[in-house]
């Protein structure tokens, strides 16, 4: 199983380490041809304006949409959630609100119930977005203060926090399970 991590900016190395620990082959994605033969893709946290500029510079928007249309799972975390929303790549039917938790509470860690076996995940939020609006096909998996912070629509998974910064690998494992399922469905 080969999983790409968009490596234009942000904490792509930490994602790569988790994915390797879970047994995936990992490739850093910087140009469209890096997407060839991948089974899934992670869009990491970072700074969404910088990542947007990188996607424009490398002409990655259409190849990323085509990757999604071909049925390959995509996982966006924090800035990666923003990149996938209606106002950016348009790959999941949500509207993200950037830096939604306000200036005072920019960063925090909270136990978050996502319905995963083993109880709440330890979720690290860093100047995180939340999901301000979503379409009917989107399933909200977790909320903080009444706002969606984890969601899924078909093969797309997004979380507003940083699962790569905790030692709890269950959210990455949830994504890898969808990659395995998509591979089986395509075979």
Q: Could you list the residues that contact ligand GLN (CB under 6 A)?
A: 45-48, 78-79, 82, 98-99, 126-127
- Asked whether 178 and 154 are in contact (CB, 8 A), the reply is no
Beta-carbon contacts of residue 131 (< 8 Å; ≥ 6 apart): 81, 94, 95, 96, 97, 138, 140, 147, 148, 149, 151, 158, 160
Q: Whole-number minimum distance, CB 14 to ligand GLN, in Å?
A: 11
Q: Which is nearer to ligand GLN, 45 or 163 (CB)?
A: 45
Q: Whole-number minimum distance, CB 11 to ligand GLN, in Å?
A: 8
Q: Whole-number minimum distance, CB 125 to ligand GLN, in Å?
A: 8
Active site residue 56: no
Q: Whole-number minimum distance, CB 104 to ligand GLN, in Å?
A: 15
Q: Distance of alpha carbon 162 from its chain centroid, rounded?
A: 9
Q: Which is nearer to ligand GLN, 51 or 182 (CB)?
A: 51
Catalytic-labelled residue, pool 15, 88, 162, 172: 162
Active site residue 78: yes
Q: Which residues of 41-56 are buried (b: 16+ CB within 10 A; e: fewer)?
A: bbbbbbebeebbebbe
Active site residue 139: no
Q: Is 118 exposed, middle or buried (0-12, 13-18, 19+ CB in 10 A)?
A: exposed
| Token code pair at residue 133 | 């609006």
Catalytic-labelled residue, pool 15, 68, 78, 153: 78
Q: Which is nearer to ligand GLN, 4 or 45 (CB)?
A: 45
Q: Which is nearer to ligand GLN, 45 or 148 (CB)?
A: 45
Task: Give catalytic residue positions.
Answer: 78, 162, 164
């Amino acid at each position: 199983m080969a999983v790409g991590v968009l490596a234009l900016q942000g904490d792509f190395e930490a994602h790569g380490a988790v994915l390797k620990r879970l047994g995936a082959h990992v490739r850093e994605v910087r140009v469209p041809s890096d997407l060839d033969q991948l089974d899934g893709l992670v869009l990491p946290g970072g700074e969404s304006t910088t990542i947007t500029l990188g996607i424009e510079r490398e002409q990655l928007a259409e190849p990323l949409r085509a990757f999604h249309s071909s049925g390959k799972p995509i996982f966006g975390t924090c800035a990666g959630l923003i990149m996938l929303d209606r106002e950016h790549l348009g790959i999941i039917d949500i509207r993200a609100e950037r830096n939604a938790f306000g200036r005072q509470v920019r960063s925090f860690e909270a136990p978050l119930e996502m319905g995963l076996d083993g109880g709440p995940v330890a979720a690290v939020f860093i100047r995180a977005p939340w999901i301000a609006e979503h379409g009917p096909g989107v399933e909200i998996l977790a909320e903080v203060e009444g706002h969606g912070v984890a969601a899924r629509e078909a093969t797309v998974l997004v979380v507003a926090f940083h699962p790569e910064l905790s030692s709890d690998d269950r959210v990455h494992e949830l994504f890898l399970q969808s990659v395995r399922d998509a591979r089986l469905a395509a075979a």
